[in-house]
Structure 1
Amino acid sequence: MPSVFSDHMVLQQQDDVKIWGWASPHEKITIAPSWTNETYKTEASNLASWQIKIKTPKYGGPYTISIKGYNEVVLKDVLIGEVWLCSGQSNMEMSASWGIDNGEEEIAKANYDNIRFFTSPKMAANSEQNNIISSWEICTSESMKYASSAAYFFAKKLQQTMKDVPVGLMVSAWGGTPIEIWTPENIIKKDTVLLNAANKLTPVSYGPIKPGKAFNTMINPLIGYKIAGALWYQGESNVGSDVYDENLAALITSWRKLWGYNFPFYFVQIAPYNYGENHFGGVIIRDAQRKAANQIKNSGMVVISDVSPIDDIHPKDKKAVGFRLANLALKNHYHLINDLVESPSVSELHLDKNKAVISFNHADGLYANSKKSMFEISGDDYVFYPAKMKIKNNTIIISSKKVKYPKSIRFAWGNNVQSNLFNKANLPLSSFIIEK
């Protein structure tokens, strides 16, 4: 069987989950899970492979699963719970061993039998692979130290609300990689816009840049393994792209199609960082992520500009990141909380003579933590001038004496600019640029 089916694994609860493997052609196989008296039978194809769906109960365990043909494989310590795929580049990969806030304290108390990790090694290939050589691990101080911190804190927060429900984290992440390598190659190649952007990527020494290279090895072998949803933390390696929102939409759509259902997809907006003074490459990616979150159904984005120093491309507060992602899942997917867990987001721009009025969603208690306005305004010439702002309920009124007829508004528009506007949940407004 593929190594994603190993001792200590977590299967999605109350679902029809697919398991699969290899056997001699027409070998008869019997699957017997210990949570039921029912057995499942299938037969290997003439291509020496087999697959079957089995019903899982409500969360719990540990269980065993016996898979018997000419030989027998017994999977032990199997838990039933919630499974999340966690992918991206170094900020998803980043473990406590890299140095996170309160790292030693967190490592010491990270013994949770109900949290399990399946971490993919970094591998690339020109064609789709069918196995990842790894295994499920129980969350202990030792395993957590080298596992994804963002994923770990996501699971920890889920369990604070969901109590005894096991959480399985399948982590496929590779530092320094662009989004193109995580997208199926055929998706990029058949889209002229995405292919042109991919062809502009500059080779690097620490990973591949060609479309599909990590998808083939680190995502494709997992397709079919039932997941509750996906977490994504990536974008820094695409700074310079002006089509990242299209890239992200293509990745999400392709993954959902391959899995066969529209699972929730929650992602982290990259943090402010000085990518260079002579361009807006970083903030353009943040704005593209904002637009993608607005356009893609059953998705959500967390903004982290308030917990990220502008001089560190690897923010060390991964607890805030994981908790914010978990809050989106707890509210929008599990419907277990009804708190304000989203950052404010732009909903509408209305022009009133020499003023611009911006309305927001999730903006209850909107406030600024400094007197400085981070808004700029332009007319048809797109020459931007600093603008005054006035907060009125959940709207902001923008104006400048230098712009008689507003056309475009931008906020916190700089690679390393941190937002100073928050809602009552103390979640920051994303940088943005909009026009009427």
Structure 2
Amino acid sequence: MKFSIRSLLLVLVLAAVDSTKANVILPSIFSDHMVLQQNTTVTIWGWAKTLEEVKITVSWYPAKEHKKVTDATSYWSFEIETPKAGGPYQITIQGYNTIIINDVLIGEVWLGSGQSNMEWTPAMKIEGGETEKAKANYPQIRFFTVLPWADSTPQKHVAGKWVVCTPESMYYFSALMYFFGKEIHSKVNVPVGLICSAWGGSPAETWTPEFIFERDNILKESASVLKPVSWSPVEPARLYNTMIFPLIPYKIKGVLWYQGEANTSNAVHYQRTLTALITSWRASWGYNFPFYMVQIAPWSGYGKDNVSGAIVRDQQRKVLESAPNTGLVVVSDIGDLKDIHPRNKIDVGKRLAAWALHYDYGLSMAFSGPLYQSHEIKKDNVIIHFKYSEGGLIAKGGTLKEFEIFDGKQWLPAPAKISGSTVELNTKSVNVVKGIRFAYTNDSNPNLFNRDNLPASCFEVLIDK
């Protein structure tokens, strides 16, 4: 029933388009209350009768009228310059009919994608959700939720509409994105448009274009490991085709990504998969936008007989090395080992916003916990260096825990102590150190933080020497 309802909704949208081919048709991403990216050139596109002249005027440049004739596929598009943040504005598009888009704001546009932790709404119960709902009147924050639907071929349309942030609309929108957007709006003082395109239980492969798997046999084989499930498509590109492709080339500032729980069965290739996804999305949009990830939280439900959840978390960390202009939010300190859906979305949103505020909006602030950088072996010790450890490291609750060393056969607990901005491991218990790792269990509860009170990411490093 879940799939049939979604299919019916999209069929109704497409039927409406087909029945009015003589009229100017817009994708649903262009509607009243929309937000356009500021200080750039945005694309506005749609369809009309073949070889029909289409005109567009925008109220921020009222004296300039743009004209084009549709091509053989009835498609038309305009490149329109946007000023600095402001509004409300109006867009008028005229062909056989006239469409007027009202209450258009210009500001910052962010796309959020992934699985259920991205789409999780305050109505699904989050910490502080009811309190936040009561005060969520932010007319300069706008939401667009992409209706979930899957298909084997790229589509032209998504179902959804822009809405103004009110207590009612906020309650059924992505909580994480709301708190992210609220932080950006508060700190930068600009309108914010938030587009949520997420599906619970979906693996990264289904958000990745088909051609990626045709060119990469490793990823193709890795995708074949995914077993069909009732709650989500798992086949490559199914959600990219319907929930991402139709949004291109709507200009966005960047992407927020919270996904990975559905990739524990092929965890060892997650870095390769997500790097390919990021690269392909950027190529499709035509520019190198920032891509900020949330590392999945530790969870006991992955099992005690494997470390698949830890592998995904470490693979996410490694994406920072293989894909430029990316960031990672670690949430090991605000998760719930008994719930794959941690209810603290406030801090997740704020931590994502810190990456954007620092790198994209020029505000000086703490944005990352310690990340493994390098190590050196000195007699019976391994010295581990971390990025983002300026000012020193701290072990909450006393003794530093969850560090291990590998002797070539097994992983063993390693006594660890903090020395300024480094961690020293005592390795006297093994003859040769073949590897080091930290917080590498599915239900890890590490206590290493930097002075900004942000947690360190897990890592595993094998040593050849």
Matched to 1:155, the amino acid is G
Counterpart check, 1:293 vs 2:320: yes
Q: What is the aligned counterpart of 1:193 among 177, 195, 218? A: 218
- How many equivalent pairs are there? 433
Task: Give SS of 1:132's match.
Answer: coil
Q: What is the aligned counterpart of 1:324 among 342, 351, 368? A: 351
Structure 2 matches for 1:21-420, cutoff 5 A? 21-36=46-61, 37-163=63-189, 165-241=190-266, 242-274=268-300, 275-335=302-362, 337-364=363-390, 365-370=392-397, 371-379=399-407, 381-420=408-447
The answer on whether the counterparts of 1:42 and 1:50 sit within 8 Å (CA) in structure 2 is yes
Percentage of pairs with the same residue: 48
CA distance, structure 2, for counterparts of residue 55 and residue 378 of structure 1? 57
The answer on whether the counterparts of 2:354 and 2:366 sit within 8 Å (CA) in structure 1 is no
The answer on whether the counterparts of 2:374 and 2:386 sit within 8 Å (CA) in structure 1 is yes
Task: Give SS of 1:325's match.
Answer: helix
Q: How many Å apart are 1:340 and its aligned residue?
A: 2.1
The equivalent of 2:33 in structure 1 is 8
The answer on whether the counterparts of 1:377 and 1:399 sit within 8 Å (CA) in structure 2 is no
Q: How many Å apart are 1:372 and its aligned residue?
A: 4.3
The answer on whether the counterparts of 1:10 and 1:82 sit within 8 Å (CA) in structure 2 is yes
Matched to 1:126, the amino acid is S
Matched to 2:167, the amino acid is S
The answer on whether the counterparts of 2:48 and 2:70 sit within 8 Å (CA) in structure 1 is yes
The equivalent of 2:23 in structure 1 is none
Q: How many Å apart are 1:382 and its aligned residue?
A: 3.9
Task: Give SS of 1:180's match.
Answer: helix
CA distance, structure 1, for counterparts of residue 382 and residue 428 of structure 2? 12
For residues 61-93 of structure 1, give each alpha carbon's deviation from its aligned partner in whole angstroms, at most 9, with x where no partner exists: 000000011210000000000001100000000
Q: How many Å apart are 1:320 and its aligned residue?
A: 0.5
Structure 1 segments of 4 or more deviating over 2 A? none
For residues 162-221 of structure 1, give each alpha carbon's deviation from its aligned partner in whole angstroms, at most 9, with x where no partner exists: 12x011111100001101100011112321111111101111111111000000000000
Q: How many Å apart are 1:400 and its aligned residue?
A: 3.1
Matched to 2:406, the amino acid is S
CA distance, structure 2, for counterparts of residue 272 and residue 51 of structure 1? 46
The answer on whether the counterparts of 2:400 and 2:417 sit within 8 Å (CA) in structure 1 is no
For residues 305-347 of structure 1, give each alpha carbon's deviation from its aligned partner in whole angstroms, at most 9, with x where no partner exists: 1011111100111010100000000101121x21221111111
CA distance, structure 2, for counterparts of residue 294 and residue 303 of structure 1? 16
- Provide the TM-score with structure 1 as the length reference: 0.98
Task: Give SS of 1:415's match.
Answer: coil
CA distance, structure 1, for counterparts of residue 159 and residue 337 of structure 2? 37
Task: Give SS of 1:301's match.
Answer: strand
For residues 369-418 of structure 1, give each alpha carbon's deviation from its aligned partner in whole angstroms, at most 9, with x where no partner exists: 13142111123x14111111121111111113321322210111100102
CA distance, structure 2, for counterparts of residue 378 and residue 46 of structure 1? 64
For residues 17-47 of structure 1, give each alpha carbon's deviation from its aligned partner in whole angstroms, at most 9, with x where no partner exists: 0000001111111111011122211111111
For residues 242-292 of structure 1, give each alpha carbon's deviation from its aligned partner in whole angstroms, at most 9, with x where no partner exists: 100001001000000000000000010000001111111100000000111
Matched to 2:30, the amino acid is F
For the aligned residue pairs, the C-alpha RMSD in angstroms reads 1.0
Task: Give SS of 1:252's match.
Answer: helix
Q: Which moved more, 1:359-368 or 1:298-307?
A: 359-368
Task: Give SS of 1:243's match.
Answer: helix
Task: Give SS of 1:254's match.
Answer: helix
Matched to 1:298, the amino acid is N
The equivalent of 2:453 in structure 1 is 426
Matched to 2:452, the amino acid is A
